[in-house]
A and B are shown apart, each in its own frame.
Chain A
Amino acid sequence: MSLLEVKHLRVRFDTARGPLQAVDEFSLELEAGETVALVGESGSGKSVASQAILGLVQSPPGVIETGEVLFGGENLLEASRQRLGQVRGREIAMVFQDPHSALHPLLPIGVQLCEVLEVHEGLPRKEAWKRCVRALDEVGLSDPEQRMEAYAHELSGGMRQRVLIAMALLCRPKILIADEPTTALDATVQVQILDLLRRLQRDHGTAILFVSHDLGLVGRVADRVLVMYAGRVIESADAMQVFERPMHPYTLGLLESVPRLSRTSEMKLKSIPGSPPDMTQPIAGCAFAPRCEFVRQRCTLERPPLASLAKSVSQVLLVGGRRSACFERERVGRAAESPGGLPGDEERVP
């Protein structure tokens, strides 16, 4: 049994323009100690899906229609508010995108850290304080004792994200959900934070669900990648496979739009034409079809299922759990391998 299993999750938002299907048929498995990346552009449903795991989708307008979030066999979507409070921060912790607004502006850092241990482990303030100082030291914050007294506005963005990571890992959670943890930071700090996450994962064996729009960044951290488009997972594979041979035109497009140092000036950066579909409208066929260069008539009529690539049992060993929701995936894969298509694994421009 996996550490965390999300099955057939559907989340809807009731907006002024009608119901919006933010997440549809979302499934995910997370094993202890591994990093799974959830990739997609804004509005693809990746953040909503990750927040639904801890019941953090605001309701109203959010409605979780169907699905299960199994954590150790327990369905968190049916858990009581009290039980959910025990899981949050203690078993499954979360780091959010914008460290500038995620810390309370009017409470000292130390108070915000200590309350986690006070609530979850019943520690008195003095002991909690000592452990929090150690935690700040562990995430590489200088002068941790003074930082405890500081307020959020007295710290830089990178320092705040370190504080938030320290806060999330205080109770040694089994799972860390990192929702675009580096997006609001500048490039050099991004790399530092990623290294920090990897080091902490190695030290504590935490499983990480890494949510990002940046496929290049994901290559540095993830074991497995789930690519989302218009609320659905359209490709899932080991990270290496995705980068070597993407099998969905959207993934291919994402990869080609990552800037690389080896690209010469004549090689223009590709972009995906068009924009994501209006998700308040029902979509017949593949949601990506209007923007797809591999589109066939069938794509606009019939929705491609997220199917395993293995055609027989023996192939399972070869392709692993690789899945793609595209009728033309073989063509996409061949195009990706063709010369001039995709570059290798050189450093991307930060």
Chain B
Amino acid sequence: MIGFLLRRALWFAFTLWAVATLAFFLMRAAPGGPFTAERSVPPSVELALRARYHLDWPMWKQYLSYIGPLELGSRGAFTGDGTQTFGGVLAGDFGPSFKYRDFSVNDVLAQSLPVSLGLGLTALFFAIVIGVSAGVLCALYPRGKIDFGVRLLATAGVAIPNFVLASMLILLFVFLLPLLPVAGWGTLQHSILPAAALGAPVAAYIARLVRAGLFDALAQDYVRTAIAKGMPTHIVVLRHALRAGILPVVSYLGPATAAILTGSLVIEKIFFIPGTGQHFVNSALNRDYTLAMGVTILYTGLVFFLNTVVDVIYTLLDPRIPLEEA
């Protein structure tokens, strides 16, 4: 286990470095810059701004100073307002935001990430609860009315993009039935619609996975053994069949997390939620180099971390698979 985690940590570092490097050069390869605006700035002002953020340095020097706390001339390279020193990504400092001049990227992320995580976890939680229960019902009564209904909904859920679903939910629960607020963040009521829109495709996919997995497991010899032992139905289904039938869902949780993270930028925009997703889009459009980099690195880290957690859970559930090969 420790060996596995150490190896994963090494891969983690390498992945983060690769993603950071790629993102750094891709951002700078994009036309325009952080200070290119519709309203043209006097050339002298733009030069001064670029000098202040060291955008006039050669690319390699900008890259090195962004990555690490190297002694590159004066300490405090890349500082925005001159009062803070920038420690570099290795020191956990993502630098000043080019767009929100009074904030560092760390400030922006610290404010928005809890919102996005809250939304994402709520969506994931509902997706798992609803998906698994629906899948179990389908597998227990295959080809019945519930099964037919759930499969129809699940197919729709996988096929309909979440922004379409979000609009439909708003129409239904805000305008036709005024039950929920249309947008904003802060209370439980505010989180219901966005979490539903964000989690629905995941719930649909989980329901399909559970249905197939459980259906398969129920036909296995070890389930017949459990029935022949006189185990009551709930033990046969929940302890014996579902334990095997749920494995595909566990492996799907990694991709599901990624889907929810990337899905949330659209949802956050629709429901005006001050989460990280909106920064992901806006920073790229604004050429806010440091913020875009920060969000990218953060998302990479999150997805990597959650995938590792999923792998560990999987091997805990299935003792036949050694962790080293996961």
A-to-B contact residues, CB < 8 Å? 54, 56, 81, 84-90, 93-94, 96, 98, 101-107, 115-116, 119-120, 151, 153, 164, 167-168
Q: Give the complex CA separation of A151 and B244 in angstroms.
A: 14
Chain A residues with Cβ under 8 A from B281's Cβ?
none
Residue from the list B225, B231, B318 in contact with A103, Cβ < 8 A? B225
Q: Give the complex CA separation of A93 and B235 in angstroms.
A: 18
The answer to whether A88 touches B229, judged by C-beta atoms less than 8 angstroms apart, is yes
**In residues 206-235 of chain B, which contact A (Cβ within 8 Å)?**
220-222, 224-233, 235
The answer to whether A96 touches B221, judged by C-beta atoms less than 8 angstroms apart, is yes
Min CB distance, A81 to chain B, in Å? 8
Q: Is B156 an interface residue (CB 8 A)?
A: no
A96 in contact with B235 given A105-B244, A153-B320 (CB within 8 Å): no
B-to-A contact residues, CB < 8 Å? 220-222, 224-233, 235, 239-240, 243-244, 317-320
Chain A residues with Cβ under 8 A from B221's Cβ?
96, 98, 101-102
Chain A residues with Cβ under 8 A from B232's Cβ?
85, 119
Chain A residues with Cβ under 8 A from B319's Cβ?
106, 151, 153
Chain B CB within 10 Å, residue with most, of A84, A85, A96:
A85
Q: Give the complex CA separation of A104 and B228 in angstroms.
A: 13
Q: Give the complex CA separation of A153 and B319 in angstroms.
A: 9
Chain B residues with Cβ under 8 A from A86's Cβ?
230
A56 in contact with B222 given A119-B235, A151-B320 (CB within 8 Å): no
The answer to whether B230 touches A119, judged by C-beta atoms less than 8 angstroms apart, is yes
Q: Give the complex CA separation of A309 and B233 in angstroms.
A: 46
Chain B minimum-CB-distance residue to A86 = B230
The answer to whether A102 touches B225, judged by C-beta atoms less than 8 angstroms apart, is yes
Min CB distance, B251 to chain A, in Å? 14
Chain A minimum-CB-distance residue to B244 = A106
Min CB distance, A143 to chain B, in Å? 18
The answer to whether B231 touches A85, judged by C-beta atoms less than 8 angstroms apart, is yes
Chain B residues with Cβ under 8 A from A93's Cβ?
228-229
Chain B residues with Cβ under 8 A from A151's Cβ?
319-320
Chain B minimum-CB-distance residue to A87 = B230
Chain A residues with Cβ under 8 A from B233's Cβ?
81
A104 in contact with B230 given A119-B235, A151-B319, A151-B320 (CB within 8 Å): no
Closest 6 CB pairs of A and B: A89-B230, A88-B230, A101-B221, A89-B229, A94-B228, A104-B222
Residue from the list B225, B240, B243 in contact with A164, Cβ < 8 A? B225
A106 in contact with B243 given A96-B221, A101-B220 (CB within 8 Å): yes
**A-B contact list, 19 entries, CB within 8 Å:** A84-B230, A85-B230, A85-B231, A101-B220, A101-B222, A102-B222, A103-B222, A103-B225, A104-B222, A106-B317, A107-B239, A107-B240, A115-B229, A115-B235, A119-B230, A119-B231, A119-B232, A151-B320, A168-B229
Chain A residues with Cβ under 8 A from B222's Cβ?
101-105
Q: Give the complex CA separation of A331 and B243 in angstroms.
A: 58
Chain B residues with Cβ under 8 A from A116's Cβ?
229-230
Q: Give the complex CA separation of A164 and B228 in angstroms.
A: 11
The answer to whether B228 touches A54, judged by C-beta atoms less than 8 angstroms apart, is yes
Chain A residues with Cβ under 8 A from B240's Cβ?
104, 107
Extra contacts besides A84-B230, A96-B221, A102-B224 (13): CB < 8 Å? A56-B224, A93-B228, A96-B228, A102-B221, A103-B222, A104-B243, A104-B244, A105-B222, A116-B229, A119-B231, A151-B320, A164-B225, A167-B229
Chain B CB within 10 Å, residue with most, of A85, A87, A101, A106:
A106
Chain B residues with Cβ under 8 A from A102's Cβ?
221-222, 224-225
Min CB distance, A163 to chain B, in Å? 11
Chain B CB within 10 Å, residue with most, of A101, A102, A168:
A102
Q: Give the complex CA separation of A98 and B230 in angstroms.
A: 19
Chain A residues with Cβ under 8 A from B225's Cβ?
94, 96, 102-104, 164
Q: Give the complex CA separation of A346 and B243 in angstroms.
A: 49
Min CB distance, A138 to chain B, in Å? 18
Chain B residues with Cβ under 8 A from A96's Cβ?
221, 224-225, 228
